[in-house]
Structure 1
């Protein structure tokens, strides 16, 4: 049984939920996933002890979590030697217009260039608007951003845009590289 590290950064929980689904798919495919939130990694985490690594991060204010970038830079050599993949979560990826989704892909590519990581697979995936979890100011800002993008602005409910079939296909593709 291959051990797969699924390491992620999540600010509002959607990236964690996506990482859990990736872990479930890997588990169903006969692998042993280990999920770790990189904001608080266990001491002595040995990335080299895993057969493969998937890293996930979300985009906020134009960049991925700094602690995720630091993890990737610190373990770049190991990540570049093993089967590895990266998924990037953003609301921009939810846009129906491919041209409007392009900034999400550009931020993913910038992250990889900045960290020197060359994963075997990547995915830009749509996140969620969790109005119910935002404070007053953030709810106002997110509603305004959503309105400018012709998105969902009813702050009395939450919106999930994640394409779970796409997430599962990404995890299965990675799984096939481990066999």
Structure 2
């Protein structure tokens, strides 16, 4: 019996969504799937989701929206995505908030992405990202310190802060692997 093939397509601006996608790929592999990771900013040509048994799409939130190129990918392939097992993972700092209203904003952005793209994935996960001060330029570092770090008190720009709930990512991925393998 051939191995279940899963496309993990993602957009990442500062690298945390790439790390999440890589972990998803690793977990899928341990679950017996053949995972292919593709950064959608530079996809291979042609990229045909129809040749995969399932698709996981990941995107990060910046300035209140997900990457346009991820949105474009989903719109271009929505018919295929809506006909096979799929999942969407949204990575944002809002998901790391202790404030329920801010965490709700992360969920609203995820729902808004699905509404804009007319995509109905089988599963969704809103997961916290990271503050990677060491990778930011001066302006971005100061902006993120003010916007992202202030709320949690993580304002020491000499170090990075990771908020991703890796157990949630693993659990979500194992559940998806069961779904795609049972198809």
Same fold (TM over 0.5): yes
Structure-1 residue corresponding to 2:98: 96
What's the offset of the Cα at 1:148?
A: 4.3
Structure-2 residue corresponding to 1:166: 168
Structure-1 residue corresponding to 2:55: 53
Structure-2 residue corresponding to 1:130: 132
Q: Distance in 2 between matches of 1:56 and 1:128?
A: 15
Q: Distance in 2 between matches of 1:96 and 1:58?
A: 19
Out of 170, 175, 178, the position equivalent to 1:176 is: 178
What's the offset of the Cα at 1:146?
A: 2.8
Structure-2 residue corresponding to 1:156: 158
Structure-2 residue corresponding to 1:16: 18
If the length of structure 1 is used for normalisation, what is the TM-score? 0.98
Out of 42, 54, 67, the position equivalent to 2:44 is: 42
Q: Distance in 2 between matches of 1:164 and 1:96?
A: 18
State the Cα RMSD in Å.
Answer: 0.9
- The question of whether the paired residues in 1 share the 8 Å contact of 2:88 and 2:124 is answered with yes
Q: Distance in 2 between matches of 1:90 and 1:173?
A: 22
- The question of whether the paired residues in 1 share the 8 Å contact of 2:131 and 2:149 is answered with no
Out of 143, 146, 154, the position equivalent to 1:144 is: 146
If the length of structure 2 is used for normalisation, what is the TM-score? 0.96
Larger mean CA deviation between 61-70 and 143-152 belongs to 143-152
- The question of whether the paired residues in 1 share the 8 Å contact of 2:97 and 2:152 is answered with no
- The question of whether the paired residues in 1 share the 8 Å contact of 2:9 and 2:39 is answered with yes
What's the offset of the Cα at 1:45?
A: 1.1
